[in-house]
Each structure stands twice: as structure tokens, then as C-alpha cells.
Amino acid sequence: MLNTNMIAIVGSRNCTENGKKLARKFAQELVEQKITIVSGMANRN
């Protein structure tokens, strides 16, 4: 996995519905290109 193309997606805790829609679209396109998405798994507290 470390030899693959990767990207991190940083988001907002209070995103808009449009922001959620765009994030899903970007993520789907990245997955289709076989790019690994890395998340920091931020704490929601």
C-alpha cells in the first residue's frame, strides 16, 4: 500500500450539504483512479 498514489482529504466538522455532495464526488473519482484516500480520523468531540 505504501507504493500506491495517496491523497489526504481534510474536511470540516460543520460542512454544508453541497460540501458533503462534492466530497463524495471527489472521493468516488479518486477511487475510480485507484488512488488511496488517507484520513486522519479527527475526533468529533
Q: What is the 3-state secondary structure (H, E, C) of 1-45?
A: CCCCCEEECCCCCCCCHHHHHHHHHHHHHHHHCCCEEECCCCCCC
Grid coordinates of 25: 464526488
Q: Which amino acid is at 12?
A: S
Find cell 505504501 and name the residue. Answer: 2
45 occurs within a structural domain: no
- The predicted model scores a pTM of 0.67
pLDDT mean over 14-34: 91
Residue 16 pLDDT more than 80? yes
18 occurs within a structural domain: yes
Residue 24 pLDDT more than 60? yes
Residue 32 pLDDT more than 60? yes
pLDDT reported for residue 9: 79
25 occurs within a structural domain: yes
32 occurs within a structural domain: yes
* Residues in the chain, overall count: 45
Domain that holds residue 20: 6-38
**How many domains in the chain?**
1
23 occurs within a structural domain: yes
